[in-house]
């Protein structure tokens, strides 16, 4: 047992050994929550409080589950190691899949059911639209699937959806939902959301089966509880209500996935769901310097709708947060690339330990081009390079086809992107204009509008909104290259640079600067972090500036970005930005004013850094926070 508690701080030790009732761990960024969770599970086995098969560890990714299982194997004594295979550590979906394979026959599910992926789901919806003689333009398959997913995540059946629906679209989409479920049943298939939805069906309709699993999994540990949606929350509550031995770990201040159904109120409700819940705060941070943490605390403390932890650290530093005011997005990208070169060559920090974080995918374009010019290797995490994104390639193909009607390859892509009917509309439009008399931005807007291409995307959907932002960002490039041929030539040259980096892909993956969205950075840590586009309308996003709840989520996103930094943090904003083809004057983000001035230092291109930095500067591995997400 001494080995299990070695190196833990007092709060972590208390969390590991507590056995009285349900336990809620409010664990701040970098506080070692995954370490506590795995040590707690190992402690239960080591002290014979639980057998391995009685422990259920639920996470959100297979990678996190694999890491937990590996840690458990190392923690437990050699005599217990053989039995760690009986500990279930996995995602909500994999756990429910196991249950339905075994007991789903009680609600008519074949044990050999197939699981439909997103392409299968879309094909099925298209078939239903055809059967019902409904237009896929008016009832866009992705929008229909979003509705169905939302219903299932809230445990709303097709019948309930039909009763509560109103309006032409609402009534029809509820009917599609019903037909969709009928066809899934006929085909002995489930989609990913069904794995949880049908498991809840099974438990509620067959209490004896629920009781069986309550008895099997007496000790339930759930990671990232603030990111659970309603049906995941319901599953946890049903499984744990008998023995009340549930451990939930989370941090409301890092709840940034509200747009996809996550509800941090589940974390707040935990103490009422389980009687006599013990609450322990993990507030000692092992990642960031005191200055970075003070800034993070100052920002997140403005939120009032959820518990806010006050993080502290033993890691002292004199390096203030550098703030750079750029006169344009190009100047900002130049600053970031110059500063990265300085840090890499003078402080000998590997490129891979440096991250540039931004609010929107479209912001990567100008950074990518600056890095390519300075031959800074980079890796886009969780996304494609700007000119490799499908919607960008589609629009570029339209431009190429418009300027050269003999370009058959571009014509084929245009036809695939638009369909034959819209392609004929585009051809008719091209015959009515003189492309040689139009500027790049005029031609771009003309093609996108006349082709009806934008109808493919629903601006109310998060993923579609990102695609629309990427298309709009092409207008910024077009503004810088007024002649269409120059515009296309520039794109070709950038793509050539992409190819050159692809040939060096193995080295790049080891050494490249990490470029990613703030959402994508959760669970990661870096020696140096750049937060770019720190402006009103970007962070917080313009779509999030009406409701207080949306502003609070944007503030949590800012907090997540700040707490990714271990040693150095750079914040930059542009007073004037050419974005989506329009030049605008911007105010610095309100979040910047929430950071005490004593923690900030105005920076310039030529300013330097101190020589002190963390000991793992020569690591050849991408540094993941233990709390992998």
Mean pLDDT over residues 563-576, rounded? 96
Beta strands in 92-207 (DSSP E): 114-116, 189-191
Say what the pLDDT of residue 113 is: 87
- Write down the catalytic residue from 140, 564, 566, 577: 564
CA contacts within 13 A on the Cβ side of 193: 24
Select which of 33, 339, 359, 522 is catalytic.
Answer: 33
For the full predicted model, state whether its pTM sits above 0.85: no
Written as six digits, the tokens of 519 are: 């959402």
Question: For residue 383, which phi and psi values (nearest 5 degrees)?
Answer: -170, 170
**Of all residues in the chain, what percent are helix, strand and coil, respectively (each to 5)?**
55, 15, 30
Q: Tell me, what DSSP letter sits at residue 9?
A: -
Alpha helices in 218-285 (DSSP H): 230-240, 265-273
The single residue of 46, 224, 283, 535 carrying the catalytic annotation is: 224
**Burial zone of 259 (CB within 10 Å; 0-12 exposed, 13-18 middle, 19+ buried):** middle
- Apex 51 CA angle, 48 and 56, nearest 5: 125
Per annotation, catalytic residue among 59, 181, 214, 254: 254
Whether the predicted pLDDT of 88 surpasses 50: yes
Is 332 noted as a catalytic residue in this protein?
A: no
pLDDT digits (tens, 9 = 90+) for 108-163: 999 888 888 888 899 999 999 999 999 988 899 989 999 999 999 999 999 999 99
Among 344-348, 465-469, 477-481, 492-496, the range with the most confident prediction by mean pLDDT is: 344-348
224: alpha, beta or left? (left if phi > 0; alpha if psi -120 to 50):
left
List 34, 54, 230, 236, catalytic entry = 34
Residues across the chain: 629
Asked whether the beta carbons of 628 and 34 are under 8 A apart, the reply is yes
- Percentage above 70 pLDDT, the chain: 92
**Of the candidates 280, 209, 258, which has an alpha carbon nearest to the alpha carbon of residue 238?**
209
Helices 462-480 + 440-451 axis angle, to 10: 150
- Is 33 among the catalytic positions? yes
CA nearest to 254, candidates 221, 298, 284, 224: 224
Q: What is the tens place of the pLDDT at every residue in 373-406? A: 999 999 988 777 888 888 999 999 999 899 888 8
Q: Where residue 78 falls among pLDDT bands split at 50, 70, 90?
A: low
The pLDDT-based confidence of 179 (bands split at 50, 70, 90) is very high
Tokens (6 digits) for 597: 């001035």
d(CA 435, CA 433): 6
Cβ(423)–Cβ(414) below 8 Å = yes
Burial 42-51 (b: 16+ CB within 10 A, else e): bbbbbeeebe
224 is catalytic: yes
In tens, the pLDDT along 428-475 reads 999 999 888 899 999 999 999 889 898 888 887 878 888 998 898 888
Measure Cα distances from 557 to 466, 475, 517 in Å.
17, 27, 10
Give 271-320 pLDDT, tens digit per residue: 999 989 999 999 999 999 999 999 999 999 999 999 999 999 999 999 99
Cα angle at 580 between 440 and 594, to 5 degrees? 155
From the candidates 149, 194, 223, 391, which is the catalytic residue?
A: 223
Is 223 known to be catalytic? yes
Q: Are 358 and 532 in contact (CB under 8 A)?
A: yes
Strand partners, 56: 88, 220
Residue 337 has pLDDT above 50, yes or no: yes
């Amino acid at each position: 047992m001494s080995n299990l508690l070695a190196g833990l701080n007092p709060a972590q030790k208390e969390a590991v050994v507590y056995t009285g009732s349900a336990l809620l761990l409010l664990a701040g960024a970098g506080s070692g929550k995954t370490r506590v969770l795995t040590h707690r599970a190992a402690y239960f086995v080591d002290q014979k409080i639980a057998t391995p098969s009685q422990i259920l560890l639920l996470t959100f990714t297979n990678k996190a589950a694999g890491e937990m299982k590996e840690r458990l194997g190392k923690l437990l004594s050699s005599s217990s190691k053989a039995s760690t295979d009986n500990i279930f550590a996995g995602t909500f979906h994999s756990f429910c899949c196991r249950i339905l394979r075994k007991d789903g026959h009680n609600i008519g599910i074949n044990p050999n059911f197939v699981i439909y992926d997103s392409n299968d789901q879309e094909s099925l919806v298209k078939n239903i639209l055809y059967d019902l003689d409904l237009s896929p333009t008016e009832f866009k398959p992705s929008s229909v699937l979003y509705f169905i997913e939302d219903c299932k995540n809230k445990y709303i059946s097709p019948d309930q959806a039909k009763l509560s629906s109103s309006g032409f679209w609402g009534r029809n989409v509820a009917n599609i939902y019903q037909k969709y479920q009928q066809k899934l049943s006929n085909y002995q298939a489930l989609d990913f959301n069904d794995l949880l939805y049908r498991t809840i069906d099974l438990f509620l309709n067959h209490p004896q089966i629920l009781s069986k699993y309550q008895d099997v999994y007496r000790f339930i540990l759930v990671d990232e509880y603030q990111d659970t949606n309603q049906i995941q929350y319901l599953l946890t509550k049903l499984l744990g209500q008998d023995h009340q031995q549930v451990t939930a770990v989370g941090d409301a201040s890092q709840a940034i996935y509200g747009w996809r159904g996550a509800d941090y109120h589940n974390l707040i409700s935990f103490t009422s769901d389980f009687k006599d819940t013990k609450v322990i705060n993990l507030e000692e941070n092992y990642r960031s310097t005191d200055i970075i943490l003070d800034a993070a605390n100052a920002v997140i403390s403005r939120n009032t709708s959820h518990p806010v932890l006050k993080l502290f650290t033993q890691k002292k530093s004199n390096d203030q947060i550098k703030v750079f005011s750029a006169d344009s997005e190009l100047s900002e990208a130049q600053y970031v690339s110059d500063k990265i070169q300085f840090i890499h060559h003078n402080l000998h920090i590997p490129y891979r330990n440096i991250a540039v974080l931004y609010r929107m995918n479209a912001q990567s374009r100008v950074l990518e081009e600056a890095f390519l010019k300075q031959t800074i290797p980079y890796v886009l995490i969780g996304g494609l390079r700007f000119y490799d994104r499908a919607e960008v390639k589609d629009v570029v193909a339209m431009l190429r086809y418009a300027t050269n009607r003999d370009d058959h390859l571009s014509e084929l892509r245009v036809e695939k992107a638009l369909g034959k009917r819209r392609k004929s509309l585009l051809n008719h439009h091209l015959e009515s204009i003189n492309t040689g008399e139009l500027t790049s931005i005029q031609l771009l807007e003309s093609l996108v509008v006349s082709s009806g291409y934008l109808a493919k995307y629903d601006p109310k959907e998060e993923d579609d909104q990102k695609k629309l932002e990427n298309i709009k960002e092409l207008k910024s490039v077009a503004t810088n290259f007024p002649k269409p041929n120059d515009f296309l030539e520039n794109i070709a040259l950038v793509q050539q640079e992409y190819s050159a980096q692809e040939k060096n892909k193995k080295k790049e993956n080891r050494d490249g600067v990490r470029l990613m969205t703030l959402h994508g950075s959760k669970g990661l840590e870096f020696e140096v972090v750049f937060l770019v586009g720190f402006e009103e309308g970007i962070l917080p996003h313009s779509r999030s500036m009406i409701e207080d709840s949306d502003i609070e989520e944007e503030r949590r996103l800012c907090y997540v970005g700040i707490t990714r930094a271990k040693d150095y943090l750079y914040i930059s904003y542009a007073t004037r930005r050419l974005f989506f083809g329009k030049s605008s004057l911007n105010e610095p983000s309100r979040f910047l004013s929430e950071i005490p001035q004593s923690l900030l230092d105005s920076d310039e291109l030529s300013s330097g850094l101190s020589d002190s930095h963390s000991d793992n500067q020569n690591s050849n591995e991408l540094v993941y926070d233990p709390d992998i997400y």
